[in-house]
Amino acid sequence: MATVVDCPTCGTKVTWSEASKYRPFCSERCKQIDLGAWAEEKYTIPGSPPLDDPDADPDETPQR
């Protein structure tokens, strides 16, 4: 049985197989929309501020 996933952009069901050229996306369009979102920095990974950041909140800075 083939694995079916949701397209991360539009939610369309995509069969995860060699025939699905753009997997996990359903199309080139959805793939490009996702790439554009990354380029515009719409996706972020939360983390603590750098240790040398003068504007960082000292209460949130990890101790060495």
Residue 1, strand partner residues: none
pLDDT in tens, 2-51: 899 999 999 999 999 999 999 999 999 999 999 999 999 898 888 876 66
8 A C-beta contact, residue 2 and residue 16: yes
CA distance 11 to 9: 6
Say what the pLDDT of residue 12 is: 96
What radius of gyration, in Å, describes the C-alpha atoms of the chain? Answer: 19
